[in-house]
Amino acid sequence: MAQLTTAFRRKAIGQTDTRVRLMSEVLAHIKLIKMYAWEKSFARSISDVRKDERKILEKAGYVQSVNTSIIPIVPTLASVLIFMVHTQLRYDLTASTAFTVIAIFNAMKFAMSGLPISVKSFAEAKVSLQRLKKILVMKDPVVYVKNLQDSPYAVLMENASLSWDNTNGNGESNPADKISHGKNVFSANETNESSISGQLPEMIPKASMTLQNVDFCLDKVHAHRYCPC
């Protein structure tokens, strides 16, 4: 039961993340959606995601209901099975032994009543810890900007990659802007604005400019000359 609850909970969290991400995109671009009258299309997408999420939650609810309904009758079933096995093995079953076993199982009934909630909480905690573990084991991001201590340079770049967006949309640049010496490479890749959920048509084109493997240094003397304090 715990394994089934964990599996359904993991699937439900995935569907919930998809629904929240889709709703965030809709709210962020609500003006564009209203302008092009795409309400019905996005409403269908959100409805489909919610249906999938509801199906998974219903299955998890069924498993939880079965678990909750079985727990109260476990002491009775356990007592009957024990007495059946005891008599089938040709052992004597006295009244004192029978009432003692029944009393013990009745005492366990109160402790077992909280087992369904414990199983559900354990399954949710396991899924949450697994998701948290993915974040905790991630590598620390590389620190690209550092304060230079006792260095003759005010600005120093080594093997840097510089990128920026060109709103002209043509992806072209002047020949004087191109870096052609050494190992420096210039690339102008024309891209289009990403459509929301893959349903919007192409919008205003945008060019992405990139300079790779850039080495640059500016000593403190020239820095004070260009930027007087």
Q: Which residue has the tokens 């964990």?
A: 6
User: Does residue 37 surpass a pLDDT of 60?
Assistant: yes
Q: What is the pLDDT of residue 185?
A: 39
Q: Which amino acid, one-letter code, is at 182? A: G
Q: What is the pLDDT of residue 201?
A: 43
Q: What is the pLDDT of residues 41-90, one digit of tens each?
A: 889 999 999 999 999 989 888 888 887 788 778 788 888 888 899 888 88
Q: What is the pLDDT of residue 51?
A: 92
Contact by Cβ (8 Å): 191, 206 = yes
Of the listed ranges 9-23, 97-111, 139-153, the least confidently predicted one is 139-153
Q: What is the pLDDT of residue 87?
A: 87
Res. 192 pLDDT band, cuts 50 70 90: very low
Farthest CA pair distance, the chain: 105
What's the average model confidence in pLDDT over 200-211? 56
Instruction: Please count the CA atoms within 13 angstroms of the CA of 217 that sit on its side-chain side.
Output: 8
Q: What is the pLDDT of residue 188?
A: 37
Separation of alpha carbons 196 and 206, rounded Å:
16
Separation of alpha carbons 150 and 22, rounded Å:
50
Separation of alpha carbons 47 and 55, rounded Å:
12
User: Does residue 180 surpass a pLDDT of 80?
Assistant: no
Q: CA quadruple 187, 192, 196, 198: dihedral positive or negative?
A: negative
Cα–Cα nearest to 220, from 150, 123, 137, 125 = 150
Task: List the beta bridge partners of residue 207.
Answer: 166, 190
Residue 192 or 137, more confident: 137
The reported pTM is 0.50
Cα–Cα nearest to 52, from 76, 80, 17 = 17
Q: What is the pLDDT of residue 166?
A: 67
Tell how far CA 50 is from the center of its chain.
17
CB atoms within 10 A of CB 118: 11
Q: What is the pLDDT of residue 148?
A: 67
Residue 123 or 35, more confident: 35
